[in-house]
A and B are shown apart, each in its own frame.
Chain A
């Protein structure tokens, strides 16, 4: 007896913004959860369990917030779990929730991931001094910029590839009403001329800090078949972790990334990744990670990912492998939710529900998240048919 086929039948997101002062944390989560339930045609009574993810508790200063959020999520008398795998958490949470159905432990599960960064100071939360440990004091950009520099040196990519990714994603975001950044008047020149933050990353090549939540409803094969509405079938899920620092670690294309991708593509029976995948939602908080991940995930040969950016292959308009048509993490980063948004957006693509940022004829889509020092990975592949 293999795994139960599992379907996504509902996706719900909040409007993302730097400050959602109009709602509490509970209100924010209900907004996403209700939209997912409405699309799924389900009520709280029909949800067997909830799996929640978010990034560090210090971001909002609430320890184990699933405890506080139980009532808001309709969980009283039900199971709720809380996943935390650093920046990959939204993706991991979706995968754990999917396993609840795949294992036949539950029939219908709601999964939700969120961050309300306006109620916190993320730099403070990430900079708490520890005895016997040197603080990086550089933020994530400072940590990742030397790795991006290494990629540029290895691949010979032109200097403005990062700007091209950022401009593309910000243009895509204009087609997504939920996206945080809506920069209608932004020009490519403005991206290039924006202040350098962590060389090679300019201000306009990095992600914003957002409030928001994303939810999905999963159900079993019978539920997916019976569902009167769009369905995304889960074709494969995978997670991999590795140590952040060890001799020989390839930080440009970590072994955990490559093995996680190999696993999920094998599960989905995909051989030619670029041809068989119609849309990609990948975790790109800093622009240069698009070409880097294109290579690491096997969509491009090593050293060639930047050419796909340069020739427009990853654009919604005219590209053969559109990447982050939702605007991606570069346009919205409610950290704990960001991975789940990638998974949810890939599901919406195969459901044909992505609105203005829909990829025409999308049948198979890839969702991706990473976290820690690019050492935690979560991925899935969804399809329009079983």
Chain B
């Protein structure tokens, strides 16, 4: 038990796959090896899992009840205790964390996936908007972020050069990440020379769209210590949402991210690095401020979503990236963040610590 009366819950294994497009495999086909890898790493089978939860989107799969096919990949025979969120897998992790806090199970299996390459994600995401007044105008996701980006630049909080620096740094960080789909080095001046894609956003400012997914095992207390050498404890986790109506909030800030960061005590101790789900350079800039991350914090050592962005798993993968880094000793305390909705509408923040 920790000080706040919560159980100690840790990430004990993780597996991921991301590539620019996976054209010849279905979601079930590419998830089965990942599910197996995450379980094998800790020597567990599906029947050892106290609870299972997944995150995905029917709209990406182009099919109602799409997750019903993917559950077969877990091998749910005999039956399993299971649930699904129509959200990024970070929220599936949250549901499993709550279930573990209830105390009736000690292990949980979480997976998430998305395959956006068959469609145009920036157009598909327009269907997230207010269905009566906004979605019929079919505003694409880059255009909406472009509006927010223009407001951010005009607020003076950040410059186009600073955005290009974020993009350049992501590419450099991603060189060592085998799952990155965008890691060619570019200087700030090279990025600033790119044509606008959605004024003032350039191609390097937008997420590196990928297909893929991830799988993860959580365990409580001593069970976690039995399963791996260095469990990575979830010291705090919280999520909040902002207003949906773009005109009803200040797009140059992320109030909900700040509340969540405060709830989990992001700045109560030294942060070794952060993995934030910032799809755009602009969201990176806004989040750095909203989460109170100082200049000394290494943000997105994996390259982040600018290097590989698998819709519905990108937030979950931030947890996995932080787990792997801490598990191998490249840091002890990390901040993890996941987002959903247009312009950072919904935000989850967690603090992870090594054993």
Q: Are B64 and A71 neighbours in the complex by a CB distance under 8 Å?
A: no
Q: Say yes or no: is A348 at the interface (Cβ < 8 Å to chain B).
A: no
Q: Are B71 and A64 neighbours in the complex by a CB distance under 8 Å?
A: no
Q: Which of B75-83, B148-156, B160-168, B276-284 contacts A (4 or more CB under 8 A)?
A: B75-83
Q: Say yes or no: is A100 at the interface (Cβ < 8 Å to chain B).
A: yes
Also in contact, A243 and B72, with CB within 8 A (given A56-B64, A63-B59, A68-B129): yes
Interface hits, A49-81 → B, CB 8 Å? 55-71, 75-81
**Chain A: CB-nearest residue to B64:** A56
Q: Say yes or no: is B310 at the interface (Cβ < 8 Å to chain A).
A: no
CA distance A122 to B79 in the complex (A): 28
Q: Are A84 and B241 neighbours in the complex by a CB distance under 8 Å?
A: no
B58, B83, B101: the one contacting A105 at CB < 8 Å is B101
Q: Are A259 and B240 neighbours in the complex by a CB distance under 8 Å?
A: no
Q: Say yes or no: is B42 at the interface (Cβ < 8 Å to chain A).
A: no
A25, A64, A81, A102: the one contacting B128 at CB < 8 Å is A64
Q: Say yes or no: is A82 at the interface (Cβ < 8 Å to chain B).
A: yes
Q: Are A68 and B131 neighbours in the complex by a CB distance under 8 Å?
A: yes
Q: Are A75 and B241 neighbours in the complex by a CB distance under 8 Å?
A: yes
How many chain A residues touch the partner (CB < 8 A)?
Answer: 65
Chain A residues near B239: list those with CB within 8 A.
79, 81
Q: Are B102 and A102 neighbours in the complex by a CB distance under 8 Å?
A: yes
**Chain B: CB-nearest residue to A3:** B102
Chain A residues near B80: list those with CB within 8 A.
240-242
How many chain B residues touch the partner (CB < 8 A)?
Answer: 64
Chain B residues near A376: list those with CB within 8 A.
68, 82
Chain B residues near A260: list those with CB within 8 A.
79
A24, A78, A85, A256: the one contacting B84 at CB < 8 Å is A85
B52, B63, B103, B127: the one contacting A1 at CB < 8 Å is B103
Q: Are B64 and A126 neighbours in the complex by a CB distance under 8 Å?
A: yes
The CB with the most chain A CB atoms within 10 A, among B26, B85, B259, B342, is that of B85
Q: Are B79 and A240 neighbours in the complex by a CB distance under 8 Å?
A: yes
Q: Are B131 and A3 neighbours in the complex by a CB distance under 8 Å?
A: no
Chain A residues near B1: list those with CB within 8 A.
1
Chain B residues near A24: list those with CB within 8 A.
132
Chain B residues near A243: list those with CB within 8 A.
71-72, 75-77
Chain A residues near B125: list those with CB within 8 A.
63
Interface hits, A337-386 → B, CB 8 Å? 372-373, 375-376
Q: Are A76 and B243 neighbours in the complex by a CB distance under 8 Å?
A: yes
Chain B residues near A242: list those with CB within 8 A.
76-80
Q: Are A3 and B64 neighbours in the complex by a CB distance under 8 Å?
A: no
The CB with the most chain B CB atoms within 10 A, among A82, A238, A241, A259, is that of A241
The CB with the most chain B CB atoms within 10 A, among A68, A80, A375, A376, is that of A68
CB distance from B87 to the nearest CB of A (A): 5
B86, B101, B238, B346: the one contacting A80 at CB < 8 Å is B346
Q: Are A59 and B64 neighbours in the complex by a CB distance under 8 Å?
A: yes
CA distance A243 to B79 in the complex (A): 8
Q: Which of B90-98, B192-200, B227-235 contacts A (4 or more CB under 8 A)?
A: B90-98
Also in contact, A68 and B57, with CB within 8 A (given A63-B124, A86-B65, A259-B78): no
Also in contact, A76 and B81, with CB within 8 A (given A63-B59, A105-B98): no
Chain B residues near A81: list those with CB within 8 A.
85, 87, 91, 94-95, 239
Also in contact, A84 and B346, with CB within 8 A (given A57-B59, A256-B79): no
Q: Are B81 and A57 neighbours in the complex by a CB distance under 8 Å?
A: no
CA distance A373 to B71 in the complex (A): 13
Chain B residues near A82: list those with CB within 8 A.
85-87, 91
Q: Are A244 and B72 neighbours in the complex by a CB distance under 8 Å?
A: yes
Q: Are A57 and B58 neighbours in the complex by a CB distance under 8 Å?
A: yes
CA distance A78 to B83 in the complex (A): 22
CA distance A57 to B82 in the complex (A): 20
Also in contact, A3 and B103, with CB within 8 A (given A62-B127, A241-B76): yes
Also in contact, A68 and B244, with CB within 8 A (given A25-B131, A59-B64): yes
CA distance A62 to B52 in the complex (A): 26
Q: Say yes or no: is A160 at the interface (Cβ < 8 Å to chain B).
A: no
Q: Are A104 and B242 neighbours in the complex by a CB distance under 8 Å?
A: no
Q: Are A240 and B82 neighbours in the complex by a CB distance under 8 Å?
A: yes
Q: Are A125 and B64 neighbours in the complex by a CB distance under 8 Å?
A: yes
Chain A residues near B174: list those with CB within 8 A.
none
Q: Say yes or no: is B48 at the interface (Cβ < 8 Å to chain A).
A: no
Q: Are B83 and A85 neighbours in the complex by a CB distance under 8 Å?
A: yes
Q: Say yes or no: is A318 at the interface (Cβ < 8 Å to chain B).
A: no
CB distance from B349 to the nearest CB of A (A): 11
CA distance A238 to B99 in the complex (A): 11
Per-residue CB contact flags for chain A residues 130-146 toward chain B (1 = under 8 Å, else 0) read 10100000000000000
Chain A residues near B130: list those with CB within 8 A.
68
Chain A residues near B47: list those with CB within 8 A.
none
Per-residue CB contact flags for chain B residues 1-43 toward chain A (1 = under 8 Å, else 0) read 1000110000000000000000000100000000000000000
CB distance from A67 to the nearest CB of B (A): 4
B62, B83, B255, B340: the one contacting A130 at CB < 8 Å is B62
Q: Are B79 and A259 neighbours in the complex by a CB distance under 8 Å?
A: yes
Q: Say yes or no: is A103 at the interface (Cβ < 8 Å to chain B).
A: yes
Q: Say yes or no: is B137 at the interface (Cβ < 8 Å to chain A).
A: no
Q: Are B127 and A103 neighbours in the complex by a CB distance under 8 Å?
A: no
Q: Say yes or no: is B256 at the interface (Cβ < 8 Å to chain A).
A: yes
Chain A residues near B68: list those with CB within 8 A.
86, 244, 372-373, 375-376
CA distance A295 to B102 in the complex (A): 30
Interface hits, B235-259 → A, CB 8 Å? 238-245, 248, 255-256, 259
Q: Say yes or no: is A279 at the interface (Cβ < 8 Å to chain B).
A: no
CA distance A130 to B70 in the complex (A): 14
Chain B residues near A71: list those with CB within 8 A.
243-245, 248
Chain B residues near A83: list those with CB within 8 A.
83-86, 95
CB-defined A-B contacts under 8 Å, sample of 15: A55-B64, A60-B131, A64-B341, A68-B130, A71-B245, A75-B241, A77-B240, A81-B95, A82-B87, A83-B84, A103-B98, A119-B131, A238-B81, A243-B72, A244-B72
**A→B interface (CB under 8 Å):** 1-3, 24-25, 55-71, 75-86, 92, 96, 99-100, 102-105, 119, 125-126, 128, 130, 132, 238-244, 246, 254-256, 259-260, 372-373, 375-376
**B→A interface (CB under 8 Å):** 1, 5-6, 26, 52, 57-59, 62-65, 67-68, 71-72, 75-87, 91, 94-95, 98-99, 101-104, 124-125, 127-132, 135, 238-245, 248, 255-256, 259, 340-342, 345-346
Return the 6 tightest CB-CB contacts between A and B, nearest first: A103-B101, A56-B64, A256-B79, A241-B82, A242-B79, A84-B86
